[in-house]
Amino acid sequence: MARNVIIRRASRIDKQTESHKGPMLTEPQPTQGPPAPKSPLKNPIMYSSLALLAVLLYVLWIFFFRWQENRQFQRHASEERSQKQLDADRQTIDQLGGKELAIQSFYATAGVIHRGETAQLCYGVANAKTVKLEPQDNPVWPSYNRCVEVAPKKDTTYTLTIQDAAGHTQTQTLDIKVK
């Protein structure tokens, strides 16, 4: 009987341990369905991507800022060149007579010539509509620098007369001596 009691107790213990050891001692079974999502805060790729994006934005900002500065510098240099060109053009216009009617030059290549030789009469006018050179057979017209050939037979006084669109005139004379 003692032996029966021991066997019964052993079988009871086995049954109790079997009922307890089933779910406890066995490995957990995988569940069906999607795996649990990983937390984005634990992802090092996200942090490195954000750092790389920040660096890229900073570099792009630097390039844009320098491009804009270069553009402003070029605009400023262009404006300075334009102003210098405008000043030079105004100075040239003033040298060429500006807006006023003017005989800027009237001269002969030789003041004294021998009989039968020729000389050049050169003139420059500003803002003239018509030009007359007397006595002269060759045609003349308004020009900043023009020369005509003359062949006087005796001492001659040449007269240059210019007139503008408003009817204003100017006159200048030049003597050529003949030996």
Q: Exposure of 159 by Cβ count < 10 A (0-12 exposed, 13-18 middle, 19+ buried)?
A: middle
pLDDT at residue 85 in the model: 86
What would the DSSP string read from start to end of 55-70?
A: HHHHHHHHHHHHHHHH
pTM given for the model? 0.48
Mean pLDDT, consecutive 10-residue stretches, the chain (179 aa), reads 57 57 55 66 82 95 96 92 82 70 85 85 86 82 84 88 87 88
* Cα gap 108→130, rounded to integer Å: 21
**Is residue 158 within 8 Å of 134, Cβ to Cβ?**
yes
The two tokens of residue 136 are 């002269």
pLDDT at residue 88 in the model: 83
pLDDT at residue 70 in the model: 95
Q: Nearest to residue 158, comparing CAs of 129, 179, 131?
A: 131
